[in-house]
């Protein structure tokens, strides 16, 4: 809330969605309530639910999202709105860069990132490198939710944020669905400062505690967007390799970087395995439901 007053006039409305907290968030909100149009509370730690609550409560055409540990410049709002106006109706999303202010060299966490349908990502690219990736149909433009805005109509058309993604890959899923629906993602040269804070998902930048979510959402995303190839041995091997890299190897690395006890590492591995199981179940259900929906019109046309 530290810099809301400096750019509050640029908003038509400001909506704050508050999840479970154990700090003085409610006091800060009370002190700044004259700047806020709506405050919405949810008991669930789910960023997709929070974003959908804000989206459905909003009345304006352009929806700008900002995380609670990010500080934006006074030009942030105007830059996003101007980009949407210049790009026209085909632009579903506008995204800028995110810098990590907790490190002395302030590296970029995200700038012109791309993803594939397995959720493999390259988060920081030059303009030329981004274009090389996007020249292949295997890759699509992504965003980091800390610096992204959307056309409300576009989000509603694709069914909003998928609330199965409580944390991690929710923006990637939205970007792919926007692209599939014919919308474009536009880049702007505006960077927000990210002050990465400890939370229930991480103790620090490397000591993550969200292995269940990472494994679950990686598995679900791949099955959701893998289309008809999800039963191919190559697809399954690539997904297994990604899960090994994204979860198991990173968990084992904590033994050397943070000297965590074996019991805690084993707990993290068990959580990741449980996540894979849950993601597999949900992904197969989604894939089978989609296959059924596609098959029904064909049956009707053939008279079956």
Q: What is the pTM of this model?
A: 0.91
Rounded to 5 degrees, what angle do the CA atoms 97, 101, 104 make?
120
> Ranked by mean pLDDT, which of 11-20, 24-33, 190-199, 232-241 comes out on top?
232-241
- Do 42 and 53 meet the contact criterion of CB atoms below 8 Å apart? yes
Per DSSP, 95 falls in state E
Q: What is the mean pLDDT of residues 116-144?
A: 96
pLDDT tens digit sequence for 242-268: 999 999 999 999 999 999 999 999 999
Q: In the chain, what are the domain boundaries?
A: 60-194, 211-297
User: What are the DSSP calls for 20-66, one per residue?
Assistant: --SSSHHHHHHHTGGG-SEEEE-SS--HHHHHHHHHHH--SSEEEE-
- Do 97 and 190 meet the contact criterion of CB atoms below 8 Å apart? yes
CA 71 to centroid of chain Cα atoms: 18
pLDDT tens digit sequence for 57-91: 999 999 999 888 899 888 899 999 999 999 999 99
* pLDDT of 231: 83
Q: Which of 220, 208, 292 shows the shortest CA–CA distance to 247?
A: 208
Does domain 60-194 fall under CATH 1.25.40.10? My reply is: no
Residues above pLDDT 70, as percent of the chain: 92
pLDDT tens digit sequence for 156-178: 999 999 999 999 999 999 999 99
pLDDT tens digit sequence for 261-300: 999 999 999 999 999 999 999 999 998 887 666 555 555 5
């Amino acid at each position: 809330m530290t810099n809301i007053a400096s750019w509050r006039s640029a908003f038509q409305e400001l909506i704050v969605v508050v999840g479970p907290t154990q700090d003085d968030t409610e006091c800060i909100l009370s002190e700044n309530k004259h700047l806020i149009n709506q405050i919405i509370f949810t008991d669930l730690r789910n960023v997709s639910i929070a974003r959908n609550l804000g989206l459905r409560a909003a009345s304006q055409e352009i929806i700008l999202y900002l995380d609670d540990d990010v500080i934006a410049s006074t030009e942030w709002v105007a830059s996003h709105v101007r980009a949407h106006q210049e790009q026209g109706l085909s632009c579903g999303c506008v995204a800028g860069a995110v810098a990590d202010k907790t490190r002395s060299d302030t590296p970029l966490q995200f700038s012109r990132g791309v993803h594939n349908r397995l959720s493999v990502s390259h988060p920081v690219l030059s303009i030329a490198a981004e274009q090389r990736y996007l020249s292949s149909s295997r890759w699509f433009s992504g965003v980091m939710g800390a610096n992204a805005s959307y056309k409300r109509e576009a989000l509603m058309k694709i069914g909003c944020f998928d609330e199965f993604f409580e944390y991690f890959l929710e923006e990637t899923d939205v970007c792919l669905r926007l692209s599939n629906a014919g919308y474009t993602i536009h880049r702007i040269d505006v960077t927000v400062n990210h002050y990465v804070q400890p939370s229930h998902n991480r103790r620090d930048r490397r000591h993550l505690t969200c292995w269940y979510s990472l494994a679950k959402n990686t598995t679900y995303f791949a099955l959701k967007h893998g289309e008809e190839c999800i039963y191919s041995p190559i697809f399954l091997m690539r997904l297994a390799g990604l899960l090994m890299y994204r979860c198991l190897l990173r968990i084992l690395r904590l033994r050397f970087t943070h000297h965590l006890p074996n019991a805690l590492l084993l707990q993290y591995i068990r959580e990741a395995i449980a996540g894979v199981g849950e993601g597999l179940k949900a992904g197969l259900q989604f894939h089978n439901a989609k296959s059924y929906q596609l098959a029904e019109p064909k049956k009707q046309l053939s008279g079956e």
